[in-house]
Every structure is written in C-alpha cells, then in structure tokens.
A and B are shown apart, each in its own frame.
Chain A
Amino acid sequence: MENNSIIRIKNLTKSFPMGKTQFTALRNINLILGKGEFTGLIGPSGSGKTTLLNIVGSLDSPTSGEAWVLDHSIGKLTAKQAAQLRKEKLGFIFQSYNLLAVHTVFENVEFPLLLLKMGASERKKMVMDALEWLGLTDKVKSKPPQLSGGECQRVAIARAMVKKPSLVLADEPTANLDAANSHHILKTMETLNRELKTTFLFATHDEKVIGYLHRKIYLLDGKVDRDERKVNSEK
C-alpha cells in the first residue's frame, strides 16, 4: 500500500497565529492515500479539511510533522519547487470555479498547458480532448460570465484535467451547484478517475459528494475522526 501511495502524511500539525494566541487547525494527522483513490475529507466548517487540502496542494506548509505528496516533502519544498509540483502534477478545482473571467473557455483550459510551455498544436489537441470529455466543445469561445454554474465547474474540471495530473484536489466542488448539476459533475469526475486512473481528493460536507466517494476521511476539530472505505469501490 505504502509503495503505491501518492500522499503520505505523518504526525501533521498546522497552527495559525490568531491575535496573541495560536489556532491549531490540524492536530497530529496521519494518512496514506493510494494511487487512483476517490477520497473525500469530510467535516463541518472549521474541521480543517481545506487546510489539509491546501497543504497537500503545496499552497501551504505544515507547522510540524511531514506531508509527502508524490514523493515531495511539502515542508521542504522551495516556492519554485512547490510551483513546479503544482504545475506538473496537481490539478485544482475550487468551490467558486476561479476561472479567468476575461479569457474564453478554450483559453482557461489551455492555461495550465501554457505554463508547461507546450507547443500550440499539442495544446489545441489536449484542450479539445478535455472539452470533449466534459461536453463543452460548443462553448469554446464563450467567456465564464456567459456560462451557467454547472458549465463553469465543468470548465474548471477540464482545466484541472487537461494536463492529466496525478492528483486532483477539489475543494467543495458542488457547493454552488444544484442537485442535477452536482450529480453530472460528480459522475464526470468518477469516470475520469476510473478511465484515467487520476487520484481525486475532495474537501466537502455535501451529502451528494459523499455518496460518490470510495473512501471517506471524517475530520473533526482538526483530527481524523473516522476513515471509512467502500467495500466495493466499483460503483
């Protein structure tokens, strides 16, 4: 299991200064996530799920303990190395989509490939493939303000998936969507997980998402409360 792991977290603690005191968001977390998992960090607001997701995404670093993501120790990465890891291996999906409003759908999805300095023809092919997976080929020239919430999130997924990352981190991806759109999005992500073997890690407290997860890690007050796996992960 450990040899096949994509994330290894050992005794991780994260504290933030809050006035004159320290607020501990994560306490002594120990976790291992294997390749191709479809896992969720579940918990109420303030349980530390987004903080953990940010550390795994190398956007933040642990106060103590260690977090290994794709064999990189997050706490020891320089800003440049962390950016390199995010650029090459990680995909992000946010609650409020975080699309670039003045760019078209094509340009938004193309963005991670631009950072990887890919050639124009290769970029075009990969962007069109990603848009096809997400059923967005008719929205290529649209801009985010012209799209619905569901379409925006599909664009965000396409942007996260276009470079075929090893790990996709999704922070409350369905929080702004209605039930129909949420199910559509989740089915799409599940299919991508199954077909491309991409590891997904969610931070959520949405029951709709929880229903799709193959593994559920419950966080409470910054600690792992429960770690449940579906017996048959094939849905």
Chain B
Amino acid sequence: MKTAFKLACRNLIGAGLRTWLNVIVLSFSFVVIIWMKGIMVGWDHQAKTDMTNWEIGGGQYWHENYDPYDPFTLSESHAPVPEMFSEEITRSEMEPMLIVQGTIYPQGRMQSVAVKGINPKQKIFLLPTHKLDTVTDAVPAIIGALMARNLKLNVGNYLTLRWRDSKGTFDATDVVITEVFTSNVPAIESGQIYIPLEKLREMTMMDGEATLLTFADSEKERSPVEGWVHKPKDELTASVDEMIKTKTVGQSVFYGILLLLAMLAIFDTQVLSIFRRQKEIGTYIALGYTRREVVGLFTVEGAMHSVLAAVVSAAYGIPFLAWQAKVGWTMPMDVSEFGMAIAQTLYPIYSFGLVVSTVLIVVLTTTVVSYWPSRKIAKMNPTEALRGRIQ
C-alpha cells in the first residue's frame, strides 16, 4: 500500500495540469460544503440563542388552554400564578406574562393584536421593558420594528387600544409607543404589543394571573403543576431544528450537484487514464504487479485527488472560512419578513466533526468513483495492454 501511495503521488504530480484542475474543482467542493454547512450550524445556533434571549428564556409553563396558533384560546388561557413560584418571581428568576386579545387603531385602521403584559423590571428577556416603566399620559407600550414598519408607527405615536376584560366587557384606552425594538425573532414582533403586566391585569381584571411563566434556569428540575404545562427549552426550540432540517435537505441537493460535478471530472480522468495508459498498466504487470494491485494503484491515484484537494482547500479555505466566521454572511435581501428566527447577518460555525465528516464523505466518494472505472484493468490481458491494443 505504501508503494501504491508513493507511485500514486509521483503519477499525480507528474500528470501536472490535469491533476491540478481536478484538485481545484474538488477543493472548491470542500470549501463550499463546509461553508454552507457552517452557515446552517451558525443559523441554528443564532436562532436558538435569539429565541432564548427574546422569547422563551430557559423554558416555560403554559396555561393548559394556551395555544399560540389559536388566538381564540386566549380568553380561556389565564389563571392565577401558582403560589409555589412566588419566590422565583421575587428573585426575578421567573417572569409571568399575561396575554389577551386586543385591537389597535393606527391611523384609523383596525389591527388585531396580542396584548402582552410583562414586568417592566424583568431580566430574562432582552426586550427593552424598562421603557414601560415610564410616566406618561397614556399606557406605555413597546412594539417590534417589524410591526412598527408595517403599521407606520414610531416612538411617541398614540394609539387606541381596545380589549375585553375577564367578564367579557369591551373597554378602550390610549397607549403611547415608548420604544420600537429590533430583534431577529419575528414571533415576538408581528401583531404584538407589550404593556406593563400590572396595568394589563388591572385593565382585564385578572389580578395575579398569567398566561405564560418563563423561567431563566433551563437546567433546574421542574415538576408538573396542575393547570400548567411544562415546556422545556428543547421542546420550544424544536421548531428551529425542524426548519434547519428542511433547509438542510434542500442544501444537500446543492452539495450533491457540486460533488457530482467534481466526481464527473475524476471519473472522466480515470476512464481516460485507463484508456491512455494501457502500456503503463501492462508495464506494471510485467514488472511484478498483479492486475488487482494495478486496480488498487489507480484507485489510490484517483482517491489521492481528494487528499491533495484537502491540502489545497486548507491553504485557501482556512483563511476564507475564518474570515467568514468573523464578518459573517450578510444576506442580500431583507429577511425580517421570512417568519423565522433569522438574522440579517449569519455567522458560520465550523465544528471539528463537520470538517472531518465532509473530508471523509469527499474522500470516500472519490475513492468509489476512482475504483469504478479501474475495475476494467482486472479484465485486461497484460500482453495486449503492453502493446496498447485494448479498445
């Protein structure tokens, strides 16, 4: 095997431009696949981190009737905060949130919203809730930039907010936008308005009640609480995993095409080599190789393209990938309306496993593609090969 490697290296280097063209195509595949997979891992990491920081904290308890995809459940999705959580709430390690359905009237238009009551002094979310701790002539409210842009709202704008209290009675008041925040999590921005928790409880006559309880510590053991459903962090971020999985399948098609092109070049080279190098094959056999050993030599030679490609990839790929990890990849279009947790700039993350698995996939595929045409050698008559007569 050592001899085969030595000979394969000599043959490859000796083949010059033909080798380097294949190697460059393959190395391009290496770098693009690692980069694209890195983007996916980076997106997954960013989406989960943003969800944790802006939406779900370390996990949540949901009122048993709460269904985020059905706004009609909101009128039934509230209950007093269980006594057992008082201490955690006092220590700001848990934050209750009350959610009711409401309507706002920006510039004479009507817009249904989820009105979310949140503690202005909370420390679990990155939401600028301190802006709710403001003395104004109307109820202070914060909204996301996505909604602000859609409804053409700015800080200082007044809106009429209408809601129904716990008895079903409609009421209305003015709210003033005290802050417009920007996040990468559309789920907390679109159709949502945040006001102080105690104010909302007072408005809806739901004193001490909540729809969600978000806790900071995801590691702490949580026991079931009657009337509330425990939603661990992993369960809440499962949607991100699903989304990334879907995108990854789409990307795999792209990798496939990229690899196919590279493999086509290798396959073509191998077929051409076996046709053009018949005398050489015959010579190897005459000098003491068996036909199977020649198959092995040609397979190693083909597979060595991928090893050389890995070295070439490292030469220009490592600086490129490191630079990308630092500056990130800014998407050419506005992604705020994609409806998923995605930042405008994604920072790829490359793991050791990602690099090793990509290298292994490419090397194995190249080896198989190199072996496939080389099998023809096993059927060659050495005396005919020596004369270069095989067609």
CB distance from A203 to the nearest CB of B (A): 12
Q: A114 with B282: in contact, given A59-B382, A86-B287, A103-B14 (CB under 8 Å)?
A: no
Q: A111 with B287: in contact, given A59-B382, A94-B386 (CB under 8 Å)?
A: yes
A231 interface residue per 8 A CB criterion: no
Q: A83 with B293: in contact, given A115-B3, A115-B288 (CB under 8 Å)?
A: yes
Chain B interface helix/strand/loop/mixed: helix
Interface residues of B in 256-297 (CB under 8 A from A): 279-280, 282-283, 285-293
B247 interface residue per 8 A CB criterion: no
Q: Which residue of A lies closest to B388 (CB)?
A: A96
CB distance from B348 to the nearest CB of A (A): 39
Residues of A within 8 A of B15 (CB): 102
Interface string of A111-154 (1 = CB under 8 A from B): 11011110000000000000000000000000100000000000
C-alpha gap A102/B382 in the complex (Å) = 21
Q: Which of A59, A96, A112 contacts B383 (CB 8 A)?
A: A59
Residues of A within 8 A of B292 (CB): 79
Q: Is the CB of B288 within 8 A of A98?
A: no
Q: Which of A83, A98, A102, A111 contacts B386 (CB 8 A)?
A: A98
Give the interface size class of chain A. 20 to 34
Q: Is the CB of B287 within 8 A of A87?
A: yes
Q: A79 with B287: in contact, given A98-B279, A114-B6 (CB under 8 Å)?
A: no
Q: Is the CB of A84 within 8 A of B288?
A: yes
A54 interface residue per 8 A CB criterion: yes
C-alpha gap A79/B293 in the complex (Å) = 11
CB distance from A13 to the nearest CB of B (A): 17
A-B contact pairs, 22 of them (CB 8 A): A59-B382, A59-B383, A60-B382, A79-B290, A80-B290, A83-B288, A86-B287, A92-B287, A94-B386, A96-B279, A98-B286, A100-B11, A102-B10, A102-B14, A102-B15, A114-B3, A114-B6, A114-B7, A115-B287, A115-B289, A143-B14, A159-B287
A residues apposed to B, CB below 8 Å = 50, 54, 57, 59-60, 79-80, 83-84, 86-88, 92, 94, 96, 98, 100-103, 107, 111-112, 114-117, 143, 159
